[in-house]
Structure 1
Amino acid sequence: MKALDHRAGTALIWVLLLTMPYWMNAMGGYTELAARVIVLGLAAMALNFLLGFTGVLSFGHAAYFGLGAYGAAMVLKFWAPSTPLAILMGVLTGTLAAAIIGALIAKLRGVYFAMVTIAFGQVFYFIAFRWNSVTGGDDGLTGWHRQPLDLGFTTIDILGNDKAFYYMALVFFAGAVGIMAWLLRSPLGRTLIAIRENERRARFLGIPVERHIWLSFVISGAFASLAGALYALLSNFTDPRSLHWTLSGNFVIMAVLGGMRSFWGPLVGAAIFVVLQDYVSSHTENWMSVIGLFFVLVVSFFPRGVLGMIKRKVQA
């Protein structure tokens, strides 16, 4: 029965994602907002791979998100007018940084791990902020834009067509989510969950805990950098704020808000966060207060997040 409910819930999520540009517009939203939901949802799910399924908290994942954004933008501005190449280089840039930093901090735990991830993230932020000649500094990296996709037999214009870009981003999202789900069902995923549940027992069983935490960190950083590359292409712009620790905090809020121990929870949390931010910020500058209050209420009364609450209501 639970397996049937899970399949039905997954099917419903994909139907909503496939049709989002249409019902979002009908509800007063817009296609770019729908694209932001899936891109930031991917970033939150990437963080949740480390937080929810490995039990390790990072407050510096905006570093890999931002490096993916800058990597993609710099390819288009300085190297070649190719959207696939830009995405590839953005992912490689963020993944390489995650691999190096993860190797340095894999032995740390708890608040020490979280604080060091913030520190490394802020290093990248200040480099982007100060290196004006390359990154554009506080003004951001401008003078570039995403390019049409040349598939050989046809060309897809993702520059002037928001729906085309949304579905391109959805293809990358689907691929990333499929790989993530496969990894979590594999022996690696089961080992990560074992580390989350009881690290000492996992170590007694002979599991190389630090190596698996490093792997989880690198995989999580790779997905975050993919989200960052797509986010830069969405707005044809990136700036140092895409590397700032406050964005990492937003990813944590999205994961916890939706339900950090469920696979789809961070996507639900990201959808609530992005839509609420867009709506409330159009009415008041104090939009973070509203989101903060909503977050406190959810955590206080529904510790398993919004998706956990929905599942409990359905099962009841």
Structure 2
Amino acid sequence: MKLTTWQAGIPEQLPIEAFMYTRDTGIRSVQHDQRRFHELTGVVLPIIKITLANTFQGQATFEYREVDQAILPESPTKPKVPKTYNAAGDHLKMSDIYTDAHVEVEVPHYAGMHATDTIRARWQGRVNYNSEIITVGDPPGKRLIAIPRLEVVDNIGRSVEVGYSIKEKGVGETIESARLTLHIDPQAVDPLLAPSYSNSKVSVNYGGETGYTVRVRWVGVTTHETESQDVTSGQANVFDIPSAWVSENSGKPVLINYSIVRKNSNEQRMFSQVLRVNL
């Protein structure tokens, strides 16, 4: 069988999946090839040992051995969250994203990044959130992926694990990055536990004190906010949800939370955890 020689200078386009050897004397050669391929592409391909069958009826075996590898694969570098305020990049406060619709997760230009790779952000908090899958595109480089603001709000005063996943050229195994442990600063009133919902009524009972007002946010196909109510210490605030808000979200998920603020002040509102319901 004859094969055309591969064109020079296109290592990332070569259809190589692994480096293989049969005799122990061949290990140095494939280790050299593995190192060289990694230098040129940033991709770590495995070295596989083949043990041939001793008889026609026998079967060959293919074995991955860590001891054979000249380079071991590493998890891609952890992401960044550009809105963090400290040098370590692992603390976030609500006042810095108060009017933002989302928080961005920065996926770095990881080794071997290719235009056809697909990536998504991972946000593991009270509820795990995965972003939409996006294609890296040309030219490869760092990418910003939006995390909805409510996913941040839901974890005020807590820590979340932030990462991203990769599918090389959009296929094959999912590769998970190293994780960033992101600490979201608590508010002056913490925690503000999620409201409850039943029979088109949202109940807020966080044990608040007189002198504050509270209102409910209802996020479904459309975002709605109720009128504000005064808070009375030791009493729940109950909000009637219009039937139109309910019907437009029939069979769909709705995210519900509330916010409080001191009456007649210029303070920023403080936000509760999020209740998620399917109507």
In terms of Rg, which structure is larger? 2
TM-score, scaled relative to structure 2:
0.21
**Normalized against structure 1, the TM-score is what?**
0.19
Which structure: greater strand fraction? 2
Structure whose residues are more often helix by fraction: 1
